Amino acid sequence: MNGLKAHQRELINLSRRCIPLLKPELYKGQCGKICVVGGCEEYTGAPYFSAHAASTFGSDLVYVLCERKAGLPIKAYSPNLMVHPYLVDSYSATREPKEEPDFEKILGVVQRCHVLVIGPGLGRDKKIREQVIQIVQEAASIGGDHNRCLILDADALFVLSTEDSEKFQEALKKYGENRVIITPNAVELKRIMKALNVDTVEEVSKRLGCITVAKGHHDIIINSKGKRWENDVEGSMKRCGGQGDTLTGVIASMLGFSRAVHDWKLQPLSVPGKESVLPWDQMAMLSCYVGSTATKMASKAAYEKVGRQMQTTDMNYIVGEIFEKLYDTEGE
């Protein structure tokens, strides 16, 4: 953890209690099953970046639910991701032969997963928006899992400023407190505050019962109870498209880890028998802090390596290395 200040190291050390210790007897999926819902004809990189970051940060299984025309490109980006092109846009739903989304297949994927990331590359098609709202409604309890986590970014946040906002907010109320994370940039946050008719980030989190990660030079993390952290870990000078997708992927991975320790009582990295399980609110805040820290560290390392030509691919390729730098888990 060279380069981190004392207060930053303290939070990273505490977050070890969110991460399950790898053991031979664990089976595939226990350390996190993540589903990224996003990707359309125009945008296929964003869902890949989010899913790839979740995978390389340590999640066991990562799925992508995307619009049909996005499926082949995303499959071609990586054989490590399970890509399900089951969403249907307005064009496909109205032209002959008309297509309709198969919700039995869609919910079959959702049911397997512990954490959903909704929004990367989603687009603003109304038909897709309707399917996303239904997914959010069903995911709150499908398969008997009432503690599923949700991360909303990009065009999923845009739904809050549409005519479907109230329906979307009602769906979000089905989730446990601080089981929903939103990751707006400055423009998105301003739009959300206007749509909700509130003046502060604290009010946004309270209204939605969520944790808000307000992205900026210093990321601000605020939960539904008003607890506020500021992450002053330094990133890079370069602002390339896709860094926010890396952030959602790492947060998703950490939430999957946190659920493994909190909800299913797997042994964490910290010394067994010495510490009790942290409260969920704290684990969720730590997950967001680690996501923010790892993304900034990856951005800085990639920029130092390649300079102004840095792209999100450069960041994602070293996300796994950042995990090892933070936690030094060689040999577990």
Domain boundaries, the chain: 6-327
pLDDT at 274: 62
Residue numbering of the annotated binding site for (6S)-NADPHX: 121, 185-191, 245
Q: Is the pLDDT of residue 103 over 80?
A: yes
Q: Do residues 260 and 277 touch, judged by C-beta distance below 8 A?
A: no
The third-level CATH classification (topology) of the domain covering 6-327 is UDP-N-acetylmuramoyl-L-alanine:D-glutamate ligase (3.40.1190)
pLDDT at 328: 85
Q: How many residues does the chain have?
A: 332
Tell me the pTM: 0.97
Residue numbering of the annotated binding site for ATP: 215-219, 235-244
Q: Is the pLDDT of residue 270 over 80?
A: no
The 10s digit of each residue's pLDDT in 29-84 is 999 999 999 999 999 999 999 999 999 999 999 999 999 999 999 999 999 999 99
Pairing of strands 180-182, 211-214: parallel
Q: How confident is the model at residue 174 (pLDDT cuts 50, 70, 90)?
A: very high
Q: Is the pLDDT of residue 13 over 60?
A: yes
For 328, the token pair is 């030094």
**Cα–Cα distance, 297 to 172 (Å, whole number):** 31
Which residues fall within 8 angstroms of residue 227, CB to CB, at 6 or more apart? 281, 285
Cα dihedral 221, 223, 229, 231 in deg (nearest 10): -20
Q: Where does residue 133 rank: exposed (0-12), middle (13-18), buried (19+ CB within 10 A)?
A: middle
Lowest mean per-residue pLDDT among 166-170, 236-240, 245-249: 236-240
Average pLDDT, the chain: 96
Q: Is the pLDDT of residue 187 over 60?
A: yes
| Coil/strand/helix, residue 37 | strand
**Cα–Cα distance, 221 to 287 (Å, whole number):** 10
Angle at 206 between CA 203 and CA 208, to 5 degrees: 105
Residue numbering of the annotated binding site: 121, 185-191, 215-219, 235-245
**Cα–Cα distance, 63 to 68 (Å, whole number):** 15
For 107, the token pair is 């919910």
